[in-house]
Structure 1
Amino acid sequence: MKGEHAARSEGLACSGHQESPERKRHDLGYLPFLVRRDGVWLYRGTPIKRKAMLCMFGSMLTRDEKGAYLLRSPFETGYIEVEDVPFLAVELDWSGCGKMQRLCFRTNMDEVVVAGPDHPIRTEWDMPPEACPESCPPYIRLREGDGRFPLEARLSRPVWYELAALAEPGTCKGVPCMGVWSCGCFFPLARQTSGTDCDA
């Protein structure tokens, strides 16, 4: 709890008021935050366990034009270290089938997105298995950053297995693959030896 209190008091000043156009944010440089690959947020090496605080920091997170992660409040901004991506997709709900299927993901920060044109699923599906020893987990885009680098959530292993169970044959860029549909978009997950056109 001491670490969480310090994160709140020493970290970014938070306010419900909108930023004044005339006010410039104070640059704090690098903040002592680390987001581990397993989704645990650390402040000065101590895990932050309060969900409300995690959700608050998560809502303030963005990426700059070079892809670095930073926390931004109306008054201050500071960079943090992220080992992979800052969020995990921990729950999958789906409805419909085929092109009419909708895949709804909930993150460990309780952010909910539906895979589709604005929230694509990204995988290194076309890589040989030996080039990706951790089986290249899928990611889903949550929101845009300041430049071309978005904020993403990595699918947790149980969610990944659920998603794989929904896969069906298709093609992407002329390559036969297994993938999933959501909101009219086909997202490839892995190569296959043969497939049918998917209009992707």
Structure 2
Amino acid sequence: MSQSPENLVEQVKKTAKNLDQPPLDKWHPELSGDMDLRISRDGQWVHKGKPLGREAIVKLFSTILRREDDEQYYLVTPVEKWRIQVEDTPLLAHSLTVEGSGEQQILKLTTNVGETLEIGKEHPLEVDRYEDSGQPRPIVRVRHGVDARLVTAAYYDLVENVVEQTINGKPVLGVFSYGNFYKIGSGG
């Protein structure tokens, strides 16, 4: 089998009825090897040193990407599984919109592949910190272990919706979406 992007696209088209969400949880082929594909911190997909030029391929690849228990990322089809490199998160969240208000508001993010995610049980928000800089690292779970990192503008939009809650007697900063509270930092 070939590890070319076009070959993987053809395999997925032949076997997946729903190209928006292929049945990745049902595909478990043996490892085919390492593909010379890297997703840079700025969200660029680079194959053999050159950016993938077709947006449709990047969008499709985002649906067949999963992170496994070994914390590695793989492009998976029914018959092939290629390990790729990811510098930070495979996807980026560029914009945030808010519907409603208060504890029942719904926070929505749009990713760099055009997917809209509603922060909630299926797509929880988590804010960690980068070890080297201490800067916030806000991410939202997409699916199959894959996360999208909020870019700076989306994070600032998120911060505009921060409220303070008392949890275990301590002030905590966070946001509500679908009635769930997502911690962003300490209050006080």
Q: Same fold (TM over 0.5)?
A: yes
Question: In structure 2, do the counterparts of structure 1 residues 10 and 118 end up closer, same or farther at CA, with 3 Å as the change threshold?
Answer: closer
Partner of 1:156: 151
What percentage of residue pairs aligned between the two structures are identical? 28
Pick one of 81, 92, 103 that aligns with 2:85. 81
Partner of 2:44: 40
**TM-fit CA distance, 1:14:** 3.2
Find the aligned partners of 1:98 and 1:86 in 2 and give their Cα distance.
31
Aligned CA RMSD, in angstroms, stands at: 2.5
Pick one of 155, 164, 184 that aligns with 2:179. 184
Q: In the alignment, is the contact (CA less than 8 A) between 2:73 and 2:86 conserved in 1?
A: yes
Equivalent residue letter for 2:151:
S
Equivalent residue letter for 1:61:
L
**TM-fit CA distance, 1:39:** 0.6
Structure 1 window deviating more from structure 2 (48-57 vs 173-182): it is 173-182
Find the aligned partners of 1:167 and 1:100 in 2 and give their Cα distance.
14
Q: How many residues align?
A: 176
Q: In the alignment, is the contact (CA less than 8 A) between 1:35 and 1:81 conserved in 2?
A: yes
Q: What are the ranges of 5 or more consecutive residues in structure 1 without an aligned counterpart?
A: 1-5, 194-200
**TM-fit CA distance, 1:8:** 1.7
Q: In the alignment, is the contact (CA less than 8 A) between 1:12 and 1:76 conserved in 2?
A: no
Pick one of 42, 46, 49 that aligns with 2:53. 49
Partner of 2:99: 95
TM-score normalised by length of structure 2 = 0.83
Question: In structure 2, do the counterparts of structure 1 residues 63 and 173 end up closer, same or farther at CA, with 3 Å as the change threshold?
Answer: farther
Find the aligned partners of 1:134 and 1:12 in 2 and give their Cα distance.
42
Partner of 2:12: 14
Q: What are the ranges of 5 or more consecutive residues in structure 2 without an aligned counterpart?
A: 17-22
Correspondence list, 1:106-117, <5 A = 106-117=110-121
Partner of 1:141: 141
Partner of 2:122: 118
Find the aligned partners of 2:138 and 2:117 in 1 and give their Cα distance.
15
Find the aligned partners of 1:152 and 1:10 in 2 and give their Cα distance.
22
Find the aligned partners of 1:71 and 1:90 in 2 and give their Cα distance.
23
Equivalent residue letter for 1:67:
E
Find the aligned partners of 1:120 and 1:114 in 2 and give their Cα distance.
9
Find the aligned partners of 2:134 and 2:10 in 1 and give their Cα distance.
35
